Structure 1
Amino acid sequence: MIEHAWLIVFGISLLAGILSGIPVMLVLGGIPILLAFIAAPFGGFDLGYLQAYPQRAFGVMSNSLLLAVPLFVMMGVLLEKSRVAERMLMQVGRLLGGSPRALVAAVLLISTLIAASTGIIGATIVMLGLISLPAMRRVGVPDGTASGLICAAGTLGQIIPPSIVLILLGDQVANAYLDAQQRAGNFAPDAVTVGDLFAGALIPGLLLVGLYGIYVVGILWKHETPASAEPLPESRLSDVLREIVPPILLILSVLGSVLAGVATPTEAAAIGVAGTILITAARVRAAGNEEVMPGVVSEEALTARLTPAWLRLAMSLTAAVAFGLVALRMAGVGRVDLSAENIALDGGAALALGLTVLLVLGLAVAVIALWRAGVMAAALYETVKVSAMIFGIILAASMLSLVFRGFEGDAWVHEVLTGLPGDHRTMLLFALAVIFLMGFVLEFVEIVFIVVPLVGPIILQDVDPVWFAVLIALNLQTSFLTPPFGFALFYYRSVAPPEISTGTIYRSVIPFVLIQLATLAIVFLWPDLATWLPDMLFG
């Protein structure tokens, strides 16, 4: 116990810092540095570890995947500023009855699509917080239920494909499985691919969404809409289609471009921003950022404040051009071989070039319209502010994990795991418990690259690698919600209004953590939930 005294002080100090009300970014980055310099004179920490931080910070800022963060944030901010996403949620809520439970069901449905299209915790939760929280509060959904739902739904992108966690796990599990099978005498094992993990995680991910839905609808089943809540009037089918079809097409385009291999997550984020600009420009009110509850004013008044018909037509044509470019890309038509000595444009390449010019012109018109309406400037300001908060938390969390390793926290974990007696299922249970605890202080990338190489070569001698990976992914998702250090809570706190306290946020996620643990237990007891679909698809 004495030899790990600094780790104990480390955990207690972080907990005290979080509860003190100091900004989370300062706690995550400041307390580890302070403890490192305090422990160094006593031989408890080697300050040489801190020399690795500049390289870590450079790696974060140069990571092309993280370029998607400000893009997805801007996508959410634009949808919030123009009230497009809120109207979509309201219309889906009306279709389901307009009650608080109908709206939370709509939020879960739409949040699942958004979360799956982004796969990045910070950007997803910020987007959901900006879009869905005001709508749920207006119809009387309690702050605790709304906050918990947003935090939990924002983490779904970690288990529902495509997922960054599954991609990283696919690489590490494949290596560990090969090592394990060679130790067991099998020198020609079947390869484990990321596609296997995507298929394996699909059913458990949908199961988790279903359990979320049962809980949030059930808890609001007898909840009456307060008299002070603004009503959701009935609307015509044409109104519903006009509001919900374009945003849903946008979300499906972002998700589909990744699944079809047309774009990387970062490129998909750029597609999302471009589509959001077109939708916002076609639906922005002439009054800009006015606070108007959709449906409360008359339809005539709303129509009078819409952008001109020619602009809506131009945005629709520009969107059609964008879909045409995607179709050309998926068909493999329109590519230009820049490595050739003489560059020649065939018919497909010339068509693609012309469509690109039209797309740029359409986006330019949309940006000008949004700037004149006062939406673009406000969206850019909010995007910079929120993105800075997200990257600050990421950089601070990187310092936290570095100091944790400097206090030999990873060595302590290794010692415990490798010295554990029992069969492979006992080791798997203990490994999952350790991952759950490590999620309090480490990022999922650190956990994947520390735990899987340590326990994988031993456990995977007798355990299906897809089942193993899906269990870890579900566990890592749980760690994002676990108070007090769940990173999903930090991201939500950065956009939640001041009247929603940190204590309310922490309490709100406890039922969802229990649901995730129940899902983890179900998949542990019935491995076929994770292995059946990959076997059906890939044999």
Structure 2
Amino acid sequence: MLELIAHNLAPIMFITVMGMLLIGYPVALTLAAGGLFFFVVGVALSEIAPSQINLFWPLLGAQPERVFGIMSNDTLLAIPFFTFMGLILERSGMAEDLLETIGQLFGPIRGGLAYAVIVVGALLAATTGVVAASVIAMGLISLPIMQRFAYSQPVATGTIVASGTLAQIVPPSLVLIVMADQLGVSVGDMYMGAIWPSLMLVGFYCAYIFILSIIRPAAVPALPISERTLGSGVLSLVAALAVAVAIHFLAAHFVFDGLTPANRLVASAATAVILIFVFALVNRAMNLGIISHLAEQVIIVLIPPLALIFLVLGTIFLGIATPTEGGAMGAVGALLLALAKRRLDFATLRSSVEATTTLSAFVMFILIGARVFGLTFYGVNGNIWIEELLLDLPGGEYGFLIVVTVVVFILGCFLDFFEIAFILVPLLAPVAAKLGIDLVWFGVILGVNLQASFLTPPFGFSLFYLRSVAPARDWKDERSGRVMPAIRTTEIYKGAVPFIFINIAMILLVIAFPYLVTHYKKVPVTAPSSTIEVPASSGGGGLGLPPMGSGGSSDSGGGLGLPPLGGSGGASGNDGGLGLPPLGGPQQGTGAPSDSGGGLGLPPLGGAGGPPPGLGGGSSAPAAPGGTGSGAAGGGAGSAPAPEGSAPAPQPGAPDLSQPPSFN
């Protein structure tokens, strides 16, 4: 029995811990306690299965260092920054301003409020990155308004939970930050990979509302004329946007033309936005009436959050800042926006800091517990068990992706994202890498998948977030004086179903078309295939080298400026460009220095002058056999010339260079 447990400790541990999590035990404590318990069991059983269990007590001594490593992780430092930024913006009234303004902009058309909720949800997702904050804020702000104007309750609730859950996948999502950290990829690459799927998802949501407005117009009525407080003036807004585009074009081509393309784009766009924003403020302050009240309100309300989004995401995408630095700039920018609107007080600041600290501590405790769990799970070869289990799936990488998608979708209905990210993703990432799957693509698939599971009844987290703020009893609308019906849980479930199918379709699109994500990769530069042909020389090599073994009268000196190789040192018609003497040939005469001596002042190499000093020459060296005089310092010019076309005799003890080398 003990041997059976020892050889199957990995699946027993995995099933036990996952079961405790599904029952509802606290995540961080379950992971840490489960890891420690099975660590003790593994050490006790290590003697029974030493090849299967690699656990010993000194391993626990390294755990504090692992904890400090988690706390000093720069990537995870972005979590409190983005959380704080989103909470400040949410509690300073930005969501109310956005919803009111965009609702007035789309109000005259059917489904206008639903479009406004989706757009505002995307903007909140791009500034908060927290699903709970987005869903709760949209529920508190937009649900009473949609009830007031007789929107279908399933449509209203489904639109709110779907738009609020966009914070799962729209950068700078906390989900993407944690996913990038667990997969070991760049957060910037993860943001770049998620940008197109998230925008397509927003477009699909709007397309669903458009189709619904045609099929069931009563479910998504237009805003009554009496409620259109900003009046008309869409043409004025279009004209203002056209002027901004013209300013951007002129600034890019005439003012900032000396900058790099990326800096020129940023500088010209910032100039256009600042000028049009200042113009709208002046138009309001001085009551000029040059642009309509609607255009003025849209510009003043939309530009600050859009500028903040660009400050965060634009700097990350352009490589100007890291995600952590972008989050810090976003937090400061949110504080400045709240101050500019005079909506920042001590109570707002304190509540935002407390909520940020709570969420950050929650993430850190789960991550520490996951590290304890991972230490034990890897020690019992759990990673090998997972790899063998998943690598044997039929269908290769697509079979793996389909199975993982189904499993994560089901678990996402019961477990929070952080639990899945810290437990499952580190186990799945090595298998994905072995199958050749791009890890950024894999991370975006998981992100869209978890977004769908957050909407899935009966345990979808976003559904419960909305349930917590939706009216459970009939309530009286103070503005219209009518009694509004309570929101039932079944209506929230019913409204989420169409958006679940949209998310599933998006998952399949991302799997079928990886380029939607992998466009973040730089296009590799490939050299064109070409053939290099070197023209033949009439006596030299293809590189313009002089002829080997020829006489000294060669007129086809080396293209490299080298003297003849192995020939006589006679009157070569092309002295070496390096000023070198003839190589391997006798000097002209018997003892006089060559007139074409090396421009570097070197003695002849291999000629009649003998070896240079230190290689057998010099005053202390004996004369070569047959020599006519004692070697003089600096060249030893007394040897008899060798026969024409032959190599000089080797010195005593020197290797014979005239013979091919031998390898013993």
Q: TM-score range by the shorter chain?
A: 0.5 to 0.7
Change over 3 Å in CA distance of 1:509–1:145 after alignment to 2: closer
Superposition map of 1:288-327 within 5 A: none
Give the stretch that moved more between structures: 75-84 or 434-443.
Answer: 434-443
Q: Does 1:253 align with 2:320?
A: no
Q: Does 1:15 align with 2:22?
A: yes
Shift of 1:531: 5.8
Shift of 1:519: 1.4
Instruction: State the AA in 2 paired with 1:77.
Output: L
Whether the 8 Å CA contact 2:79–2:174 is kept in 1: the answer is no
Shift of 1:478: 1.7
Superposition map of 1:382-531 within 5 A: 382-399=351-368, 401-402=370-371, 404-405=373-374, 406=376, 410-430=383-403, 432-433=405-406, 440=415, 442-444=419-421, 447-457=424-434, 459-460=435-436, 469-479=440-450, 482=453, 489=461, 493=465, 497=469, 512-527=499-514, 529-530=516-517
Q: Does 1:91 align with 2:62?
A: no
Whether the 8 Å CA contact 1:258–1:264 is kept in 2: the answer is yes
Whether the 8 Å CA contact 2:118–2:206 is kept in 1: the answer is yes
Deviations 1:322-362 (A, max 9, x none): xxxxxxxxxxxxxxxxxxxxxxxxxxxxxxxxxxxxxxxxx
Identity of counterpart residues, as a percentage? 25
Change over 3 Å in CA distance of 1:512–1:196 after alignment to 2: same
Matched residues in 2 for 1:512 and 1:200: separation? Answer: 22
Superposition map of 1:205-220 within 5 A: 205-215=198-208
Change over 3 Å in CA distance of 1:412–1:485 after alignment to 2: farther
Give the stretch that moved more between structures: 513-522 or 29-38.
Answer: 29-38
Alignment-derived partner of residue 317 in structure 1: none
Shift of 1:140: 2.7
Change over 3 Å in CA distance of 1:136–1:436 after alignment to 2: same
Shift of 1:154: 0.7
Q: Does 1:278 align with 2:336?
A: yes
Matched residues in 2 for 1:495 and 1:246: separation? Answer: 31
Deviations 1:177-220 (A, max 9, x none): xxxxxxxxxxxxxxxx9988766654433322222333466568
Whether the 8 Å CA contact 1:435–1:476 is kept in 2: the answer is no
Shift of 1:377: 0.8
Alignment-derived partner of residue 28 in structure 1: 27
Q: Larger C-alpha radius of gyration, 1 or 2?
A: 2
Change over 3 Å in CA distance of 1:80–1:523 after alignment to 2: closer
Change over 3 Å in CA distance of 1:418–1:496 after alignment to 2: same
Matched residues in 2 for 1:144 and 1:475: separation? Answer: 25
Whether the 8 Å CA contact 1:37–1:47 is kept in 2: the answer is no
Instruction: State the AA in 2 paired with 1:386.
Output: A
Change over 3 Å in CA distance of 1:81–1:422 after alignment to 2: closer
Deviations 1:298-333 (A, max 9, x none): xxxxxxxxxxxxxxxxxxxxxxxxxxxxxxxxxxxx
Deviations 1:80-130 (A, max 9, x none): 333233112210111011789433423432443453466xxxx53355246
Shift of 1:146: 5.3
Whether the 8 Å CA contact 2:169–2:194 is kept in 1: the answer is no
Secondary structure of 1:268 counterpart: helix
Shift of 1:70: 3.4
Superposition map of 1:218-237 within 5 A: 222-223=218-219, 233-235=229-231, 236-237=293-294
Give the stretch that moved more between structures: 218-227 or 386-395.
Answer: 218-227
Change over 3 Å in CA distance of 1:506–1:14 after alignment to 2: farther
Alignment-derived partner of residue 324 in structure 2: 266
Change over 3 Å in CA distance of 1:11–1:424 after alignment to 2: closer
Matched residues in 2 for 1:166 and 1:34: separation? Answer: 24
Instruction: State the AA in 2 paired with 1:474.
Output: I
Matched residues in 2 for 1:66 and 1:39: separation? Answer: 28
Instruction: State the AA in 1 paired with 2:113.
Output: L
Deviations 1:49-90 (A, max 9, x none): 876664454344333333333333333333333323311221
Shift of 1:153: 0.7
Shift of 1:481: 5.4
Instruction: State the AA in 1 paired with 2:161.
Output: G
Alignment-derived partner of residue 294 in structure 1: none
Instruction: Figure out how many residues of one structure are paired with residues of the other and give that number.
Output: 410
Secondary structure of 2:146 counterpart: coil
Q: Does 1:68 align with 2:78?
A: yes
Shift of 1:240: 3.0
Secondary structure of 1:64 counterpart: coil
Change over 3 Å in CA distance of 1:146–1:382 after alignment to 2: farther
Whether the 8 Å CA contact 2:194–2:517 is kept in 1: the answer is yes
Change over 3 Å in CA distance of 1:417–1:70 after alignment to 2: closer
Whether the 8 Å CA contact 1:89–1:106 is kept in 2: the answer is yes
List gaps (5 residues or longer) in structure 1.
Answer: 18-25, 173-192, 285-369
Instruction: State the AA in 1 paired with 2:354.
Output: K
Matched residues in 2 for 1:171 and 1:246: separation? Answer: 33
Secondary structure of 1:482 counterpart: helix
Matched residues in 2 for 1:159 and 1:383: separation? Answer: 18
Of 138, 148, 165 in structure 2, the residue corresponding to residue 152 of structure 1 is 165
Change over 3 Å in CA distance of 1:97–1:481 after alignment to 2: same
Whether the 8 Å CA contact 1:162–1:198 is kept in 2: the answer is no
Instruction: State the AA in 1 paired with 2:427.
Output: I
Matched residues in 2 for 1:538 and 1:71: separation? Answer: 37
Whether the 8 Å CA contact 1:105–1:216 is kept in 2: the answer is yes
TM-score, with length taken from structure 1: 0.60
Of 133, 138, 144 in structure 2, the residue corresponding to residue 138 of structure 1 is 144
Change over 3 Å in CA distance of 1:215–1:395 after alignment to 2: farther
Give the stretch that moved more between structures: 386-395 or 406-415.
Answer: 406-415
**Higher helix fraction: Structure 1 or Structure 2?**
1
Change over 3 Å in CA distance of 1:490–1:138 after alignment to 2: closer
RMSD (Å), alpha carbons:
4.9
Matched residues in 2 for 1:502 and 1:30: separation? Answer: 34
Matched residues in 1 for 2:12 and 2:182: separation? Answer: 32
Whether the 8 Å CA contact 1:77–1:130 is kept in 2: the answer is no
List gaps (5 residues or longer) in structure 2.
Answer: 45-54, 148-152, 232-292, 473-486, 527-664
Secondary structure of 2:230 counterpart: coil
Matched residues in 1 for 2:41 and 2:109: separation? Answer: 61
Superposition map of 1:343-362 within 5 A: none
Matched residues in 2 for 1:270 and 1:404: separation? Answer: 32
Instruction: State the AA in 2 paired with 1:450.
Output: L
Change over 3 Å in CA distance of 1:69–1:130 after alignment to 2: farther
Give the stretch that moved more between structures: 422-431 or 153-162.
Answer: 153-162
Whether the 8 Å CA contact 2:197–2:517 is kept in 1: the answer is yes
Matched residues in 2 for 1:502 and 1:154: separation? Answer: 25
Matched residues in 2 for 1:55 and 1:9: separation? Answer: 27
Matched residues in 1 for 2:468 and 2:383: separation? Answer: 34
Deviations 1:338-391 (A, max 9, x none): xxxxxxxxxxxxxxxxxxxxxxxxxxxxxxxx6xxxx32112221122113312
Secondary structure of 1:140 counterpart: helix
Change over 3 Å in CA distance of 1:14–1:51 after alignment to 2: farther
Secondary structure of 1:420 counterpart: coil
Shift of 1:418: 3.0
Give the stretch that moved more between structures: 134-143 or 442-451.
Answer: 442-451
Secondary structure of 1:65 counterpart: coil
Instruction: State the AA in 1 paired with 2:445.
Output: L
